[in-house]
Amino acid sequence: MDTVFLLTVLIVVFALAFDFINGFHDTANAIATSVSTRALSPRQAIILAATMNFIGALTFTGVAKTITKDIVDPFALENGSIVILAALTAAIAWNLITWYYGIPSSSSHALIGSIAGAAVSAAGFDVLHYKGFFKILESLIISPFLALAVGFIIMSLFRAIFKNANLTRTTKGFRMFQVVTAAFQAYTHGTNDAQKTMGIITMALIAANYHTSSEVPEWVRISAAIAMGIGTSVGGWKIIKTVGGKIMKIRPVNGAAADLSSALVIFSATLLHLPVSTTHAISSSIMGVGAAQRVKGVKWGVAQRIVLTWIITLPVSALIAGFVYQIFKLFF
């Protein structure tokens, strides 16, 4: 069997596996608040999230094109198929490690760091498209702070508007509203995260000379959407437990504010064709919501552990990918 064809098949399989893992790893963040406030049962939340993720994944392709061409040039990438396979292997490994320990790390950081690390390992630092790469890094860095600020603002507005409202009636209303915000949250997750898999498969097809543009083939869009939908249906209960309860005690009004805040940030990034971390956006918006209500109510020790994982994910995944590339090179 032709080596390039075999590598391309392996990349497609690994990419869809990454998308599947992303489904239960990151979507757990998207439904955590609605489950913790009992706005939705776990089964209802997963069905809703899987459906909305699938729809969201089919809606846009701008982020996929950014992943395809803005980190490295797939048309000029040396040993491109091996680079991409190594990147996927490293990203999957890091996602599984953090999922096992219940740490809501960033799949986006893991994938982007892995692509960069494997490419540098193959061809040196000159291979990176620094303008595009730093643009992606900026979006990954800025988005958590933006989500924190938006969460603080929206929660402050909710407190001001409903200050004199009946507590029981308001809680019931926000619990119902949270079904809408959870659906929006899952939809925006699909519009951004599923595209990263589409982008890396398209990159692999270009590197293997099976595709000639950054346009995402239709079969890639559909298969990535299905993989993420199935992954979502599996659920990620360890991460739900961390995001849904360990950062702060969440009530329906908090959950609705956090979901709405992070969904707005993620969807704005999708419209700008920028990849962002769903994990960052959701966790940061919860912190912002908690700070608006009572700064001491946020469990900053847990938040610190999450932030530390965010910081180390990109460089660690890059190092793993570089090492994996050197091993793969011995066999292909």
Global pTM reads 0.85
72 three-state secondary structure: strand
Outline where 128-251 has alpha helix (H): 130-161, 167-207, 218-234, 237-241
More confident residue, 87 or 104: 87
Confidence of residue 82 (pLDDT cuts 50, 70, 90): very high
Contact 283, 247 (CB under 8 A): yes
Neighbours of 277 (CB within 10 A): 31
Least trusted range by pLDDT, from 19-23, 130-134, 147-151, 179-183: 19-23
Beta partners for 128?
A: 72
Listed residue (190, 102, 146) closest to 280, CA to CA: 146
Half-sphere exposure of 70 (CA within 13 A, CB side): 19
List phi, psi (to 5°) of 249: -75, 120
pLDDT of residue 233: 74
Structure tokens at 242: 């961390």
User: Alpha-carbon distance 262 to 268, whole Å?
Assistant: 10
Tens digit of pLDDT for each residue in 155-188?
A: 999 989 888 887 778 888 888 898 898 899 889 9
Confidence of residue 120 (pLDDT cuts 50, 70, 90): very high
